[in-house]
Amino acid sequence: MFKKVLIANRGEIAVRAIRACKELGIKTVAVYSEADRNSLHVRIADEAVCIGPPDPRKSYLDIPAIMSAVEVTKADALYPGYGFLAENPKFAEIVSKSRVRFIGPSPETLETIGDKIRAKEIARRVGLPLVPGSNGAVTLDAAIEIARRIGYPVVLKASAGGGGRGIRIVMNEKDLREKFPVAVQEAEACFGDGRVYLERFIINPKHIEFQVIADSKGNVVVLGERECSIQRRHQKLIEEAPSPSVDERKRREISEAVVEFCREIGYEGAGTVEFLLDEEGNFYFMEMNGRIQVEHPVTEMVTGIDIVKWQIKVAMGRKISVGKVRIRGHSIEMRINAEDPDTFLPSPGKVEELILPGGMGVRVDTHVYPGYEIPPYYDSLIAKLIVWGETREEAIRRGLRSLDEFLISGKGLKTNIEFHKRVLRTKEFRQGKHHIGFVEEMIV
């Protein structure tokens, strides 16, 4: 049993982790930048330590500062959340060598799945379907040859990429010759790894991810899938579980392959295995994320399983005991961002009025409150509205009702609440016929 967990993150995921720890009887430590001094996670933790100025490179990404906070507070475990250092193998190794439990996969596993090329090699070995393309990193000449063979359009991806970055769509050979060196430079600049690989570009696919929890005893449980196809510039905006495009036969087939993949890499903790689903119903493996996802609540709502608590429990050496996973009803999550609903430009400011929706089947995960100053230094996510219904149609109606109730205002502060209403009212979303390019099409 952990005695004290340090939460190496901020915002709503830090609040979420602190609540889970407290329900397990574990003391918590919040770390914060000077800009987050009045954030909710700082207020509700048992202890709080300032780790630096607003710049995340000098606070939430500063490994020595975080490890100093671990030492000062005598925390015996560290919860990384998502973003920042959550999937950094070096950080996980430093934490582990300091005799503090990193609540997540091992450094070796993070390194394996962080390398998209190695991950695809393992996926191929266990029989997961892959998008036609290169078998590894490519040179420009090799990329041209492969693209001629599989046909355009193709997409260049950074081997060490993630979070929707390091991706360039290529329409023809002239485009490939121009974009290839730029993609290599971008990969080197963003990830410190200039390797890129090439795949066929799947037109209008859906983004499907399977949630897993694995323990140290080799047990892997798949908690069904989520659909995350409402995106803008590869950033997810609306997620739901289960996917309206996946039937029980395909769910079982992919789940079995996902279990084999996780066992092959010795995975431990919570994670997601991500796929593209084309218009013909074919799945293609993309990558695995070795962390909690922003959208994990929709899976919790349809399974009744607390994923964050199980992250902590398996890190303590517990065997997974969730029983037979049953998917009940339908859940939708809408990311509420402090941004202009038309231009998507960030819109930080002071929250002067806040009314949160409620009622049966409604959950709001947030770190903001009246009087809170939303800082301009971090991601614009300020809340997640999660709704549940017996059917997908009921969940959509409950989502619209909750969005109508959701009020957050302040001088100069804008949110994307109206954007979510527009999406939920479209015929394409209601019929489950949307895809990852739908938002751009809708805006045009």
444 has a pLDDT exceeding 90: no
CA 94 to chain centre: 23
Q: What is the dihedral of CA 190, 195, 200, 205, to 10 degrees?
A: -30
Rounded average pLDDT over 222-243:
95
The pLDDT value recorded for residue 164 is 65
The residues annotated with a catalytic role in the active site are: 291
Residues whose CB is less than 8 angstroms from the CB of residue 44 and which lie 6 or more positions away in sequence, other chains included: 15, 18, 19, 30
First to last CA, the chain: 53
Mean pLDDT of 114-142: 92
228 Cβ neighbours under 8 A, 6+ residues apart: 207, 208, 209, 236, 238, 239, 295
What whole-number percentage of the chain has pLDDT above 90?
Answer: 90
Cβ proximity of 332 and 240 under 8 Å: yes
- Looking at residues 65-69, what average pLDDT do you find? 98
Phi, psi of 368 (to 5 degrees): -100, 160
pLDDT in tens, 142-168: 999 999 999 999 999 998 876 667 789
DSSP state letters, 202-247: -SS-EEEEEEEEE-TTS-EEEEEEEEEEEEETTEEEEEEES-TT--
Which has the closest alpha carbon to 269: 105, 114, 106?
105
Whole-number Å distance between alpha carbons of 17 and 30:
10
DSSP state of 54: S
Q: Which CATH class is domain 206-443?
A: alpha beta
Instruction: Give the DSSP H/E element, type plus range, for residue 201.
Output: none
Does the pLDDT value for residue 179 go beyond 80? yes
**Which one is the CATH code of 132-200: 3.30.1490.20, 3.90.1300.10, 3.30.450.20, 1.10.1750.10?**
3.30.1490.20
Q: What backbone phi and psi angles, to 5 degrees, belong to 318? A: -70, 150
328-385 pLDDT, tens digit per residue, is 999 999 999 999 888 888 999 999 999 999 999 999 999 999 999 999 999 999 999 9
Q: What is the pLDDT of residues 13-46, one digit of tens each?
A: 999 999 999 999 999 999 999 999 999 999 999 9
pLDDT recorded at residue 290: 97
Distance CA 170, CA 70 (A): 46
Reference 83, options 168, 32, 10; nearest CA is: 10
The predicted pLDDT at position 350 comes to 95
For residue 296, the cross-strand partners are none
CATH 4.10.80.400 fits 4-103, yes or no: no
- Mention every residue, 6+ apart, whose C-beta is less than 8 A from residue 249: none
Q: What is the mean pLDDT of residues 95-110?
A: 97
Give residue 58's pLDDT band: very low, low, confident or very high (50, 70, 90): very high
Question: What residue ranges do the domains of the chain occupy?
Answer: 4-103, 132-200, 206-443
Measured CA to CA, the distance from residue 68 to residue 42 in angstroms comes to: 17
> Any residues with CB less than 8 A from the CB of 316 and at least 6 apart, and which?
1, 2, 101
Residue the block writes with tokens 């399977």:
210
Query: Which residue is listed with tokens 């009045």?
Result: 38
Checking if the pLDDT of 81 tops 60, the result is yes
Residue given tokens 């090439």 in the structure block: 198
Please provide the average confidence, as pLDDT, over all residues in the chain: 95
Q: What is the pLDDT of residue 233?
A: 82
Give counts: helices (H), strands (E), the chain. 15, 18
Between CA 266 and CA 107, with CA 287 as vertex, the angle to 5 degrees is 40
